């Protein structure tokens, strides 16, 4: 079939397999060009491995550190009349490249929140890898079926306590308008913490520890975001921010667990604002990203997912480096984004952004290009008018 982008709101409902493969290769090439990361992990489990920071972590571990990996993800394969999800094509391309490089790459496709997928994953790790020395937890899901109660929890992106009004942008049309988001109720807050908080990370780490599948010195990291004040009502101080607070609580609990059993450490890494499927769904954030990208690209400090993870691995976690924590015990690779001069420029520009000034004051074209790239579109060297085989199955 010929596959073109079909965007519905903040989601593209098609994905291009050759484009996704080219995107994976771009990231592999970046990591390889940076050179080997000394003393990096060799056996890695990535939970949430098919897109964004989780995918970048898998690529960085394999092609920067020579690691064998197991990736857990929940993606839809192609069917008769539609292509697969981008995460399916990403994982297929990664697996092919890793195996060609002589690296082990095992995959588990299913609901990572479920006991069954945890069991399947532990069996694969035990059979094919042995104890792992790095566990990356990078799940981003709109819902979670609790493995004990069976209750389906759905996350929401809302402020807490009062409505919040600010400007946002329709990324398709470029129209800037005001949006008012009503506050979450107590149930919505609790549900969002249940989905996006740290309980499931704890369940994974306890299961690995009980199965004796953590190597001496094993590390676990989960990813978070804080951002600037303009986004705080819908992020840091909103429902998702409370969930991220619970993630930090879990990091401390897991860190204590690891140290009690003679393993290594667990921590949260706060990363930069980027175009991801998750961030595209948060009101106000895409406009902020457009402003931020314009500023950081002009200063030469812009990074994508793979650049962030390569820097985290090479300057914080491995390569003879030591972790640097902020006052709350978090590692910060959003440090370039949060530099005072960068945020001062964001504050200066923000009030000036309108529909008419959008293209001059923001990098919305870059935002759109990055968004389509997530789905395999806009990659150089790909003939998007050609027929392509959409069906790929893992062995």
Active site residues: 235
Cα separations in angstroms, 374 against 12, 50, 390: 9, 11, 17
DSSP codes of every residue in 304-320: -HHHHHHHHIIIIISTT
Pair 173, 192: CB distance under 8 Å: no
* Strands 11-12 vs 7-8: parallel, antiparallel or unpaired: antiparallel
Q: By three-state DSSP, how is residue 371 classified? A: helix
Residue 150: CA count within 13 A, CB half-sphere: 0
Q: What is the DSSP string of 151-217?
A: -EEE-----SSS-EEEEEE-TTT--EEEEEEPPP-HHHHHHHHHHHSSHHHHHHHHHHHHTT-EEEE
375, 12 contact by CB (below 8 A) = yes
Tell me the residue ranges of DSSP E strands in 275-353: 331-332
Nearest partner of 382 among 3, 86, 87, judged by Cα: 3
Residues 322, 42: Cα–Cα separation, whole Å: 18
Burial 191-206 (b: 16+ CB within 10 A, else e): bbbbbbbbbbbbbbbe
Contacts of 273 (CB under 8 A, 6+ apart): 225, 227, 279, 285, 288, 289, 292, 334, 337
Residue 221's nearest CA partner among 312, 327, 338, 144 is 312
| Partner residues linked to 82 by β-bridges | 79
């Amino acid at each position: 079939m010929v596959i073109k982008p079909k965007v519905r709101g903040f989601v593209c409902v098609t994905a291009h397999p050759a484009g996704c493969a080219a995107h994976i290769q771009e990231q592999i090439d970046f990591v390889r060009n940076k050179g080997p990361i000394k003393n990096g992990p060799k056996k890695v489990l990535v939970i949430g491995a098919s897109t964004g920071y989780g995918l970048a972590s898998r690529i960085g571990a394999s092609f920067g550190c020579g690691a064998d990996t197991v990736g857990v993800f929940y993606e839809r394969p192609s069917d008769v009349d539609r292509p697969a999800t981008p995460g399916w094509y990403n994982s297929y391309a990664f697996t092919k490249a890793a195996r060609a490089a002589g690296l082990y790459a095992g995959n588990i496709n299913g609901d990572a929140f479920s006991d069954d997928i945890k069991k399947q994953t532990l069996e694969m790790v035990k059979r094919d890898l042995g104890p792992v020395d790095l566990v990356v937890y990078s799940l981003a899901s709109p819902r979670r079926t609790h493995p004990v109660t069976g209750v389906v929890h759905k996350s929401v992106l809302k402020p807490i306590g009062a409505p919040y009004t600010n400007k946002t942008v329709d990324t398709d049309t470029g129209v800037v308008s005001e949006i008012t988001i009503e506050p979450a109720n107590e149930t919505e807050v609790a549900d969002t913490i249940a989905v996006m908080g740290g309980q499931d990370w704890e369940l994974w780490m306890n299961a690995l520890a009980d199965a004796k599948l953590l190597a001496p010195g094993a590390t676990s990291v989960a990813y978070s975001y804080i951002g600037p004040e303009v986004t705080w009502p819908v992020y840091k101080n909103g429902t998702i921010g409370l969930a991220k607070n619970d993630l930090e609580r879990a990091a401390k609990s897991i860190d204590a667990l690891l140290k009690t059993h003679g393993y290594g450490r667990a921590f949260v890494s706060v990363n930069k604002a980027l175009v991801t499927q998750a961030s595209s769904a948060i009101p106000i954030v895409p406009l902020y990203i457009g402003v931020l990208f314009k500023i950081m690209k002009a200063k030469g400090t812009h990074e994508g997912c793979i650049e962030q993870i390569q820097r985290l691995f090479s300057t914080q976690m491995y390569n003879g480096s030591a972790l640097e924590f902020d006052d709350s015990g978090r590692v910060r690779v959003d440090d370039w984004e949060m530099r005072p001069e960068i945020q001062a420029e964001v504050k200066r520009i923000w009030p000036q952004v309108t529909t008419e000034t959008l293209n001059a004051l923001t990098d919305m074209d870059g935002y759109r290009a990055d968004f389509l790239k997530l789905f395999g579109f806009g990659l150089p060297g790909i003939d998007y008018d050609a027929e392509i085989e959409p069906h790929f199955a893992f062995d």
